[in-house]
Amino acid sequence: MKYQPLLILLLFMSSPCLSAGSEDLANKVKQLEKELKTVRALNENLTNQLDKKDKENNNKRNHNFVQVYRDQLLQLRKLTHKNKTALSVLLLLVEKMNKQNSLIISQNTMIKILGKSRQTISKSINILKNEKFIDIVKVGSANAYIINANVFWQHSQIMKDKTAIFTATVFAVGEEQEEKYFENWEGVKLKSLPVLDL
């Protein structure tokens, strides 16, 4: 151990065989005890930082890949024969989903990306929902698509089975936004803070 000589020195200095009246020696012992306490606190802080860094690295390791269960490949092949656009929509959702297997994306965006009609995209989404590849949660007027974690997943196996609350990646195109979002606000300065009066 790194601090053994220091501990031995402390034990030796606190030994009753040393003169009890030596004030200088007592001050040195107190100083060493203080320094030891500081070193222990720094060591604990460093250990906590290393643990945090390890956790972050583990999360990054699972960042840019998607896994699929082998027994689901047959279902994906069947989907290809049933409706190729449905498979394209599914792969788009999987490509853009976050670690909780969710994504908010409009049908207009899917139409632009995949070059298909609204009716074709809508039909494909219904097929995916009926075949249990996706589920749809309404978020106001938008749809959040949740990709079945028993088919595709991006996070660790342990997390995928325990995640109930999710965040969604929002994927939008500028053409869908109202014109007010494209105004030039760089020169506008806030004169006062808005106050909510209750």
pLDDT tens readout for residues 66-123: 888 888 899 999 999 999 999 999 999 998 888 788 888 889 999 999 999 999 999 9
Write out pLDDT tens, residues 9-68. Answer: 555 555 555 555 568 888 888 888 888 888 888 888 888 888 888 777 766 665 677 888
22 and 76 inside one domain: no
26 and 81 inside one domain: no
Q: What is the pTM of this model?
A: 0.54
Q: What range defines the domain where residue 120 resides?
A: 67-175
User: What's the structural domain count of the chain?
Assistant: 2
Classify residue 113 by burial, with Cβ atoms within 10 Å: 0-12, 13-18, 19+: middle
| 79 within a domain of the structure (yes/no) | yes
62 neighbors 154 (Cβ within 8 angstroms): yes
Question: DSSP 3-state assignment of 85?
Answer: helix
71 and 148 inside one domain: yes
| 102 within a domain of the structure (yes/no) | yes
| 190 within a domain of the structure (yes/no) | no
11 and 91 inside one domain: no
48 and 127 inside one domain: no
| 193 within a domain of the structure (yes/no) | no
Question: DSSP 3-state assignment of 57?
Answer: helix
**Dist CA 50 CA 43 (whole Å):** 10
